[in-house]
Structure 1
Amino acid sequence: MSEICPICGLPKELCMCEEIAREQQSVRISIDSRRYGKTVTVIDGIDGNDIDIADLAKTLKSRCAAGGTCKDGRIELQGDHKKKVKAVLEEMGFRTEVR
């Protein structure tokens, strides 16, 4: 017997909770300057309750071919990757806002 989602009550194979959560969130993408003139792309506004931020960070790091981390509910990628991150997140179903 398959597992049941505690949020929507559907079987895990049919669960749409994560996709609905992606559509409702507005993810902010911005650029930050660190010391020595280093540029960091910051992805903020992701709700960690419905989406695994560490897994999303891993996906973004591999798609952008950059290092990075996730701290305090934010994802930080080394370098300026606004366009790539926006394209990847929209492909995954997120609404994005570039600052």
Structure 2
Amino acid sequence: MPEICPTCGLPKDICACEEIAQEQQRIKVFSQRRTFGKKVTVVEGMDEGEVNLEEIASKLKKNLACGGTVKEGRIELQGDHESRVKEMLVNMGFSSDTIDLE
């Protein structure tokens, strides 16, 4: 017998909790200047308990060919990638309406 998700009550293989969580996130994507004029793209507003930030950061870093990290509940990517990050998050299942570029 398959495992049952405690949140939605569906079997784990068809559980929709993560997809629902992705649609309800309010995400901000913006760039900052750091020391020596380096640009960093910051993605914040994702709930760590509902989505796996490490996995999302890994996919973003791989597809953007840049370095980055997860700090204090936000993803920091080296370089200026605002518009491409939004496009990639939409492809991962996040709603385009809930992603704000600043």
In structure 1, what is the Cα distance between the partners aligned to 2:24 and 2:42? 20
Q: Which one-letter code corresponds to 1:18 in the other structure?
A: E
CA RMSD of aligned residues (A): 0.7
Give unmatched runs, 5+ long, in structure 1. none
Residue pairs, 1:11-22, within 5 angstroms = 11-22=11-22
Residues of 2 paired with 1:83 and 1:30: CA distance?
A: 9
TM-score if structure 2 supplies the norm length? 0.94
In the alignment, the residues of structure 2 paired with residue 36 and residue 61 of structure 1 have an alpha-carbon distance, to the nearest angstrom, of 22
Which ranges of 4 or more aligned residues in structure 1 deviate by more than 3 Å? none
Query: Residue in 1 aligned with 2:33?
Result: 33
Distance between the aligned counterparts of 1:63 and 1:46, measured in 2?
19
- Structure 2 Cα separation of the partners of residues 69 and 86 of structure 1: 17
- Determine helix, strand or coil for the equivalent of 1:13: helix
CA distance in 2 between partners of 1:96 and 1:64 (Å):
18
Q: Count residues in correspondence.
A: 99
Aligned residue for 1:3? 3
Q: Percent identity?
A: 51
Any unmatched runs of 5+ in structure 2? none
Aligned to 1:92: 92
Counterpart Cα distance in 1 of 2:68 and 2:39: 12
So what's the TM-score if we normalise by structure 1?
A: 0.96
* Cα offset, 1:83, TM superposition: 1.2
In 2: Cα distance, 1:49 partner to 1:9 partner: 18
Specify the code of the residue in structure 2 equivalent to 1:96.
I
